[in-house]
Amino acid sequence: MEILKGVIKKSVFIAVPAAALSALIEARGLPLGILLGCLFGILNLRALIKNVKGLVGPEQAAAKVVISSFIRLSALVAAIFMLLYYNIVNIFGLLIGFTVVFAAILIEGWRTGKAKSS
């Protein structure tokens, strides 16, 4: 879970100022999209970590993990679709938010791998 904490810190450190700066460009959709994209990315990473632990843990509850993954991804797609359909967020804001989390995952993974190899 230390990787998740590092990703959350890095993502919030980048996403909040990016949302504040994007408020100068567009008042509502872009900043909200960045923040929600970041939030969805972090929640998705958290669920993935739990699912991997469920697969390799002592219980090895494969069916439960598959069902929970399907429900999680369905809810994520439905939430994104609703936000975009009703023009609540900007699609580019969501992409920026997801990209921030993805970059934070790569950076944190690289730092963890480098620390373990030394």
Average pLDDT over residues 14-28: 93
Nearest to 90 by CA among 52, 16, 37: 37
Asked whether the predicted pLDDT for residue 106 surpasses 80, the reply is yes
**Model pLDDT for residues 26-57, shown as the tens digit of each residue:** 888 999 999 999 999 999 999 998 888 878 87
91-117 vs 2-22: helix crossing angle, rounded to 10 = 150
Q: How confident is the model at residue 59 (pLDDT cuts 50, 70, 90)?
A: low
User: Where along the chain do its domains lie?
Assistant: 2-117
Q: What is the pTM for the complete model shown?
A: 0.91
**Mean of the per-residue pLDDT values of the chain:** 91
What's phi and psi for 60, nearest 5 deg? Answer: 50, 60
CA distances from 41 to 25, 26, 59, 97 (A): 23, 22, 27, 8
